Chain A
Amino acid sequence: MSKGLGHSTRAVSASWLAAAIVVAMALAGCGGRGGRRALVLAGSTSVQPVAELIAEHYEVEHPHHSVNVQGGGSTAGVRAALEGAADIGMSSRALKPDEVGLEPIVVARDAVVLIVHPSNRTTDLTPEQVRAIYTGRITHWSDVTGPKWSSDDRRDDIITLVTREEGSGTRSAFEEGVMAKADITPRALVQDSTGTVRAIVASDPNAIGYISLGMVSSEVRALTYGGVQATEETVEEGTYALARPFLLLTRGAPSGEAGQFIRFALSDEGQQLVVRAGYLPVRRLDP
């Protein structure tokens, strides 16, 4: 063989080698869990991160089990559990009256909390006020709290409205809980994560946003909603209105591997993971 061809063969075999490494890595990643059929969870994208966290720890404790967590939305989760496409459905809303034949198990709770800048004078908003703000009917803080300054320059008083993107679980919980079919004004700033909503509210004195209770930090101030503060107790009692359950759904009473997973989710360890993911546990934990 001539020298020239030798060079090109070397180049070609190098690229084959690279391809082989990529394929091998992919195979190792996918096939590492052995050939057993995995336990499939599908549904709400709000429950998904919690379920993934629980699944991760469940797999550590049960090395021979593998869990596959998929999204798709609450409605898809209900359907998947009914049709048997998933062993466990996930839903971030209560079952509707026509969704029968499923065993709902509450594994966590979430509350959506309205947050403002710490310097904001507002402490409470009624459901009507929140709706008026988010539909864009109220645009100035002075219309909520009374005039902020004696001057009549209202430019510095405009509410900076922050919302989540269409399709977000937090947004749909907020819309169902507050908006009563009314649309959030398109003038609202849209952010695709809880973190950025919180960051904007923390830096803009006129901003208002909504996030999960577990994500509230000291950079922002949580408002009471209809006079009720969101806490573990008020959410559990049902007096705080903007709350929703995180459900795991099985067809009939949970049994076998699905039952084992759900028991793990309700165990002390599982509930600690719920707290770590930023949501409220359903069982009180000993400190």
Chain B
Amino acid sequence: MTVARREKAIERALLVSALSAVSMLALIAAFILIEGAPVMLRHGISSFLAGTRWAPTKGSFGILPMIVASVVVTLGAMVIAVPLGLSCAVFLAEIAPRRAANFLRPAIQLLAGIPSVVYGFVGILFLVPLIRENLGGPGLSVLAAVVILGVMVLPTLIGIAEDAIEAVPRTYKEGALALGCTHAQAIRRVILPAARGGIIAAVILAMGRAVGETMAVIMVIGNAAIIPCSVLDPARTLTSNIALEMGYAAGDHQKALFATGVVLFAFIMVLNSIATMRIVRGRR
């Protein structure tokens, strides 16, 4: 075997492995579409997406409450996570002494390693009673899910935002300081605007994580299929709808859960493509 031929063979093998990951994605996408689309079309896409009554064993498949809940919970989690995560990223990248940063960074990454069922468990034992006793309502609520998710997405948000801030050329900061800016002014006026693309990508990827989270949410949100009117109301997200009912679902009910998956898939795809576009634009 010549060296050139061997090289070719290795390249081919690598290409096949690369394609296998992509084809796995394509297969999964095709599968949930094939399973989910017919029931959506049969009941009408608008009555599926905009219907407010979910009673799948009685033939009502409206998932608007779940869509609203997913959006509300995700945005709510961002209200908590963005200020916290962004300040943490700035601190790590700009302010913290190297030693402190080297201690904090792995600690934050450890947060990502905690299984989501543990987050849910802490939520049920600690957060839910706290909400019920102090704010009223059943405790299992949008608020509980928002707080839990807000903490869960922090590692994603902090990691990517910190990278974005560190990718800002040093000369920007040096220039700002040379012009008489204080460090805080330089961060606010120069570094953060320059890192904007990456920071937005961080927020959007964190949103994707929040939309997709299932276990922790199912445990603390109460899973009532209604459009929540207050943060103390229970609600049901798209993911919890699938996980909650898949055990016993059969026939159209099962297909409707796949259709819920299609909607969720669309959500995640939109979020991820926005994030990718932002990262690419940020690099230029």
A189 and B138 within 8 A (CB): yes
Residue from the list B53, B136, B223 in contact with A155, Cβ < 8 A: B136
CA distance A114 to B139 in the complex (A): 21
CA distance A23 to B128 in the complex (A): 44
User: B253 to nearest A CB, angstroms?
Assistant: 6
Residues of B within 8 A of A199 (CB): 124
Residue from the list B13, B139, B234, B248 in contact with A204, Cβ < 8 A: B139
State which residues 183-205 of A face B: CB under 8 Å.
183, 186-192, 196, 199-200, 203-204
CA distance A8 to B137 in the complex (A): 61
Q: How many residues of A contact B (CB 8 A)?
A: 34
Q: Which of A30-38, A165-173, A270-278 contacts B (4 or more CB under 8 A)?
A: A165-173
State which residues 85-106 of A face B: CB under 8 Å.
none
State which residues 129-148 of B face A: CB under 8 Å.
129, 132, 136-140
A165 and B245 within 8 A (CB): yes
Residue from the list B124, B129, B244 in contact with A165, Cβ < 8 A: B244
B56 closest partner in A (C-beta): A166
Known: A183-B55, A183-B58, A186-B54. A169 touches B248 (CB 8 A): yes
CA distance A76 to B124 in the complex (A): 36
User: B1 to nearest A CB, angstroms?
Assistant: 8
B224 and A187 within 8 A (CB): yes
Which of B129, B136, B234 has the most CB atoms of chain A within a 10 A radius of its CB? B234
State which residues 1-29 of B face A: CB under 8 Å.
3, 6, 10, 13
B104 lies within 8 A of chain A by Cβ: no
Residue from the list B222, B245, B250 in contact with A189, Cβ < 8 A: B222
State which residues 226-280 of B face A: CB under 8 Å.
226, 234, 236, 243-245, 247-250, 253
Q: How many residues of B contact A (CB 8 A)?
A: 37
Q: Provide the main secondary structure of the chain A interface.
A: mixed
State which residues 1-57 of A face B: CB under 8 Å.
2, 5, 8, 12, 45
Known: A5-B6, A166-B57, A167-B57. A186 touches B224 (CB 8 A): yes
CA distance A167 to B55 in the complex (A): 10
A186 and B250 within 8 A (CB): no
Residues of B within 8 A of A160 (CB): 138
A286 lies within 8 A of chain B by Cβ: no
Residues of A within 8 A of B136 (CB): 155-156
Residues of A within 8 A of B137 (CB): 158
- The interface bits of chain B over 78-121 (1 if a CB of A lies within 8 angstroms of the residue's CB, else 0) are 00000000000000000000000000000000000000000000
A204 and B138 within 8 A (CB): yes
Residues of A within 8 A of B243 (CB): 192
B248 closest partner in A (C-beta): A167
User: A170 to nearest B CB, angstroms?
Assistant: 10
B127 lies within 8 A of chain A by Cβ: no
Known: A156-B136, A160-B138. A189 touches B129 (CB 8 A): no
B152 lies within 8 A of chain A by Cβ: no
Residues of A within 8 A of B128 (CB): 203
CA distance A5 to B3 in the complex (A): 10
Residues of B within 8 A of A167 (CB): 56-57, 245, 247-250, 253
Known: A166-B56, A183-B58, A203-B129. A189 touches B249 (CB 8 A): no
Which of B128, B129, B140 has the most CB atoms of chain A within a 10 A radius of its CB? B140
Known: A72-B250, A73-B250, A167-B253. A186 touches B226 (CB 8 A): yes
User: A192 to nearest B CB, angstroms?
Assistant: 5
CA distance A168 to B129 in the complex (A): 27
B225 lies within 8 A of chain A by Cβ: yes
B140 and A189 within 8 A (CB): yes
A200 and B140 within 8 A (CB): yes
CA distance A82 to B89 in the complex (A): 65
- The interface bits of chain A over 148-176 (1 if a CB of B lies within 8 angstroms of the residue's CB, else 0) are 00000001101010000111110010000
Residues of B within 8 A of A45 (CB): 247-248
CA distance A76 to B249 in the complex (A): 13
Which of A156, A167, A169, A199 has the most CB atoms of chain B within a 10 A radius of its CB? A167
A residues lining the B interface (CB < 8 Å): 2, 5, 8, 12, 45, 71-73, 76, 155-156, 158, 160, 165-169, 172, 183, 186-192, 196, 199-200, 203-204, 206-207
Please name 9 pairs of A and B residues whose Cβ atoms are closer than 8 Å in the assembled complex, sorted by A: A165-B223, A167-B56, A168-B247, A189-B222, A190-B236, A192-B218, A192-B244, A206-B138, A207-B138
Pairs of residues from A and B, 8 with the lowest C-beta to C-beta distance, nearest first:
A167-B248, A190-B223, A189-B222, A160-B138, A186-B226, A165-B244, A192-B244, A186-B225
Known pairs A167-B248, A186-B54, A189-B223; list 19 more (Cβ under 8 Å). Answer: A2-B6, A5-B6, A12-B13, A155-B136, A160-B138, A166-B253, A167-B250, A183-B55, A186-B225, A187-B224, A187-B234, A189-B222, A190-B244, A191-B223, A196-B219, A203-B129, A204-B132, A204-B138, A206-B138
